[in-house]
Amino acid sequence: MDAAAAALLDARFAAAKEASRKLARATSAEKNAALATIAAQLRAAAPRIVAANAEDLARGRAEGLSAGLLDRLTLTTARIEAIAEAVGEVIALADPVGQSVAGRTLPNGVRIDQIRVPLGVVGAIYEARPNVTIDIAVLALKSGNAVVLRGGTSAEHSNRVIIQVLRDGLAAAGLPADCVQTVDDYGRAGARHLMGARGYVDVLIPRGSAALIRTVVSEAHVPVIETGAGVVHMFLDESAPLDWAVELVHNAKVQRPSVCNALETLLVHQDAAERLLPAVFERLRGSGVTIHADERVRAYHPDTVAATLEDWETEYLSLDLSVAIVDSLDGALAHIRRYSTGHTESIVTNDLASAERFLAEVDAAAVMVNASTRFADGGEFGFGAEVGISTQKLHARGPMGLSELTSTKWIVRGNGHVRH
């Protein structure tokens, strides 16, 4: 990037920093009014957004984007309405800014309080998901943060319209439009400059493919909250009820296969394989799922595709599923330890001891018993939307909502006190 372009981007980052200071002083009522305006303008702009999205979809098909990525990229009037409704859900949530985390009065009368404060400027780099533009911006604004967005070339036309709607909504509500910035017009060079914007951007959140996340984590000079790929597992224990196994596996794999909480690997206890797999496979095949099976599964079901080592490490984001038979709960736990990305794992069982052991020993952001992995989602958890699903172990882990976009500071109130 040449010096002139770098200076223009730095000016945007500086404007976002200044706007974040003004937003940090805004009341909850002022922020909620801005979000309500944004929701109304999203609905009004739906025809423009859908038309712009059609351009992105046409280019994506021409460039050979997978069915999963095209699904993530697609915006319909119904999806825009759902996004606007999610903005309303965020409005209804409690504002975390100013909340007391801890506090006490010292014996000498000094009062100490730890309160939540905005992070400042949140950068986000993500791929082929224009709905994320709104999710991240709305959660950031409600929690008092400005945002700088890089939404990827695949969604370029959609994001251009959406970002203008966001900025117009802020201005109409009397808050700084510069709270929402983009580097999309500078492409990958803009993303690289954002990764180096230390001093302007307080935290950077990548959301997308494993390759994108690795690049941001390895190259960024800005602190990163790492979201991870979802190599998600479900284990059918020997006591798993047949009807639960069929429905939960199907829902976790098929309901929306292109998202990170979709099931990618099914593990089955050896003592349950003959009982469960025929019905499970029949239901999956009825929905067009390709089954990649290990040798033990193929002994029962030779009409499956032979699984390779790569399959156990793959986030398909498509109607593909890896299946393996394991000797025991220990075998399932060992497989998950080896191949899990720490996103979401689930067990189907009627055995309380197995359920509790699975919950205790599996190291992931979300661990479930007798539930579809599709529940690992900010909306389902009551956040209204989510910034992403963090697979790291710092202050944010799992679906990230409002509180995960805040830090804390200590407030000390005295009355002429000195330390002795």
> What pLDDT, in 10s, does the model give residues 39-77?
999 999 999 999 999 999 999 999 998 887 898 899 999
pLDDT at 398 over 80: yes
What's the topology of domain 232-375?
Aldehyde Dehydrogenase; Chain A, domain 2 (3.40.309)
Instruction: State the Cα–Cα distance between residues 315 and 229, nearest whole angstrom.
Output: 7
Q: Where in the chain is CATH 3.40.309.10?
A: 232-375
Confidence of residue 213 (pLDDT cuts 50, 70, 90): confident
* Residue 165 CB contacts under 8 Å (≥ 6 apart), including other chains: 38, 41, 42, 45, 49
Nearest by Cα to 281 from 304, 313, 263, 265: 304
Q: For residue 96, what pLDDT is reported? A: 96
The CATH 3.40.605.10 domain(s) of the chain lie at: 12-227
Tell me the H-state helices in 301-386: 309-312, 329-339, 352-361
**Average of per-residue pLDDT across 318-336:** 97
pLDDT at 128: 81
| Cα–Cα dist 354/369, whole Å | 10
Paired tokens of 8: 């223009």
The CATH number, out of the four listed (3.30.70.20, 3.40.50.2000, 3.40.430.10, 3.40.605.10), of the domain defined by the range 12-227: 3.40.605.10
Q: Is 63 exposed, middle or buried (0-12, 13-18, 19+ CB in 10 A)?
A: exposed
pLDDT value for 127: 85
Q: Is the pLDDT of residue 389 over 90?
A: no
Q: Is the dihedral of CA 94, 96, 98, 102 positive or negative?
A: positive
Rounded CA-CA distance 244/232 in Å is 18
Per-residue pLDDT at 258: 84
Q: What is the pLDDT of residues 289-302, one digit of tens each?
A: 999 999 999 998 99
